Every structure is written in C-alpha cells, then in structure tokens.
C-alpha cells in the first residue's frame, strides 16, 4: 500500500495512473456494453437479418422444394450447366457454421469461399457486392441463429471446360463492376433505396437482363428481359418501355403487382416470379415496395421484344 501511495505521488506515476485508470474505465464500459448488446441490439439485429435474407432472395435458391429451410439442394438450370445451391444453415460441416464474419463478407462481396476458391456467379455476388457491410453482417447473424441442418452439398453439373475455377478470376476481373450495383448516389432518397433493393439486394437484373457469351450481364440492356432465363424461361422486360416493357403500368399497378402478383390486365405472376412475389416483394415494407416502384419506373426505357417467333398482339393468345 505504501509503495503504491509513493508511486502515485511521483509525476510520472501520476500520468501512468491516470492512463491506467482510463483504460480500466474503458474496459469496464466495454464489458457493460458487451453485456447489454446481445439482449437488445441482438434481437433487432436478427429481425433485420431475417428481413434482409428475405429481401435478398436467399430462400428462393437455397431452400429446395420440400427441403429444410436454407439447407440448399435446389437446382438452377442455366445455359452453362446445372448449379445446386449450397447449404447455408449454421451446420459446422455441411453449412456455414464455422465461418467467421470476415469470411462471410468475402463470400458475399467478392465471391470467394473461405479456402480462397472462386464461386460461380450463379451465386449473385456481383449484385451482393453492393450490399452495405452492416447489412451483410446482419444476414450472417440471422443465418447463425437458424437450426443447423446436416445436409451435404451436391456438386454442380457443368461441362469440363467450366470446371476450372481459377478461370473465374478472369471473369471477375471483367464483370465485378465498380461502382458496385445499387451504390450510386441519387438526389432522390426513395429512388436510391429502390436502386439498392433492386440492384444489390433482390438482384432483379440477374434474371431480367440478357447475358453475353461468357455469362456476364449486358449492361446496356439491363432489365430489358431475356429469352434465356433460368430453366430456359422467357423473363420479361421490366424497363418502362411502352411497347415491350412495363411503360403502361402506373405506380399503383406496379405496387399492387409487387404486393400480390396480379398484373393490371388481370393475369397473375407464374413460375419463378410467383416465388419472388411470395417470398420477397410481398414481404417487404410498403416503403421499400414504393422505393422499388419509384426506381424501376425511372429506369431508361429499352425496347426489347421477346416475341420473335410470332407477331406481337395485345395479349398472348396462347397463354393457357
């Protein structure tokens, strides 16, 4: 005690003491905050993560029909082969339970597995690259909270010339664009939110944009529709072109479509878009739905008719 008192009296030891005290105070503050964070912030974080998992469309690909939630196994048939979505439950062996936050961020924004191998762009990291860091971490927090499922991943079925994953470095160099999707500044905050939802999170362009020979999105025809969508489907033009896109839709028409799947002419969404309506757009907040409407209807109209084989009529006479 005496020794301590003597030290405290010297100027040098006084400064050290103050620093030490501050450090202790900081540590104590951190401990208190750390204790408080998981209770309040944690619940909000999980809720936010769940919302983002829905908005990001994770469930559509990573949950197989009749399969366990986010345990993978669903096939995505593309002109480049069949990809099987992996298990993203927190199972330590078959899922992503052993991943650190940094590894998850790298996977989502750079398309790299924890062991450094490249992911195929069937996993839309080109779009997710635009996601905010805190949003990616909220997704990770939510995925860590769901039940782990011991379901092994199924290998993709690809032609031999596409099995060389290091070749994807070249692909990424060409197609991982800057600025990242959905991050461009906009004077209209609602439209900027819409751009973030459409381009980074919900990655609408991944299906609605035609691809070039190497599977990259053709930027000049973004959202103009394609006849070579997943599973060989025709995916419509969603730019506001009046002839071939959705230029005749009002704000309310598009909003109601995102909420229900019913078009202005009384038809309903089908195929993968029915799932997008059910799992993504109908579950968003109304503000986010309105942001999507504002952004999509402000896109530059692109004329791109997908009805090459027969004359375009007001309605498709062969639709049932």
Interface residues toward other proteins, by CB under 8 A: 229, 231, 233-237, 252, 256, 260-262, 264-275, 277-278, 306-307, 315-320
Nearer to other proteins, 184 or 251 (CB): 251
* Token reading at 318: 């062969």
List C-alpha distances in Å: 197 to 142, 166, 202, 258, 287.
Answer: 19, 30, 6, 13, 11
> How much of the chain is helix, strand and coil, in % rounded to 5?
50, 5, 45
Smallest gap from residue 254 Cβ to other proteins (A): 13
**Nearest distance in Å: CB 243, other proteins:** 11
* Identity of the residue, 145 or 268, whose beta carbon is nearer to other proteins in the bound complex: 268
Quote the least distance from Cβ 267 to other proteins, whole Å. Answer: 5
**Least Å from the CB of residue 257 to other proteins:** 10
Distance of closest approach, residue 74 Cβ to other proteins, in angstroms: 14
15: DSSP letter: H
Q: How far apart are CA 105 and CA 209, in angstroms?
A: 25
Query: Whose Cβ is closer to other proteins: residue 188's or residue 267's?
Result: 267
Residue placing its CB nearer to other proteins in the complex, 161 or 320: 320
Q: Taking the complex as a whole, how short is the minimal distance between the CB of residue 250 and other proteins, in angstroms? A: 9
Cβ-based nearer residue to other proteins, 213 or 320: 320
> What is the rounded CA–CA span in Å between residue 247 and residue 303?
10
CA dist., res. 86 & res. 154, Å (int) = 7
Neighbouring residues of 23: CB distance < 8 A, sequence distance ≥ 6: none
Choose between 159 and 317: whose C-beta lies nearer to other proteins.
317
User: Within a 10 A sphere around the Cβ of 84, how many other Cβ atoms?
Assistant: 17
Q: How far is CA 318 from CA 88, 128, 130, 226, in A?
A: 40, 37, 40, 19
Across the strands, what pairs with 226?
235
């Amino acid at each position: 005690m005496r020794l301590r008192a003597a030290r405290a009296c010297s100027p040098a030891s006084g400064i050290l003491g103050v620093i030490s005290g501050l450090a202790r105070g900081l540590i104590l503050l951190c401990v208190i905050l750390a204790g408080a964070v998981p209770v309040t912030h944690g619940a909000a974080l999980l809720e936010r993560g769940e919302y983002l998992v829905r908005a990001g469309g994770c469930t559509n690909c990573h949950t197989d029909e009749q399969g366990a939630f986010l345990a993978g196994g669903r096939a995505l048939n593309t002109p480049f082969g069949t990809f099987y979505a992996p298990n993203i439950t927190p199972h330590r062996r078959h899922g992503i339970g052993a991943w650190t936050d940094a590894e998850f961020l790298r996977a989502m924004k750079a398309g790299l597995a924890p062991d450094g191998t490249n992911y195929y762009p069937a996993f839309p990291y080109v779009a997710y690259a635009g996601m905010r860091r805190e949003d990616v971490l909220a997704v990770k927090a939510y995925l860590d909270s769901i039940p782990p499922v011991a379901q092994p991943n199924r290998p993709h079925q690809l032609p031999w010339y596409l099995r060389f994953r290091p070749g994807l470095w070249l692909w990424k160099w060409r197609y991982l664009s800057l600025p990242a999707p959905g991050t461009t500044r906009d004077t209209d905050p609602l439209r900027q939110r819409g751009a973030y939802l459409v381009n980074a999170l919900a990655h609408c362009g991944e299906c609605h944009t035609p691809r070039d020979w190497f599977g990259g999105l053709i930027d000049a025809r973004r959202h103009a529709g394609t006849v070579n969508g997943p599973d060989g489907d025709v995916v419509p033009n969603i730019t506001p072109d009046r002839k071939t896109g959705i230029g005749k839709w009002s704000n309310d028409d598009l909003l109601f479509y995102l909420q229900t799947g019913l078009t202005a002419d009384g038809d309903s969404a089908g195929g993968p878009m029915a799932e997008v309506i059910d799992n993504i757009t109908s579950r968003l907040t109304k503000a986010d739905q309105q942001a999507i409407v504002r952004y999509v209807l402000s896109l530059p109209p692109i004329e791109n008719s997908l009805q090459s084989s027969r004359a375009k009529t007001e309605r498709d006479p062969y639709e049932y």
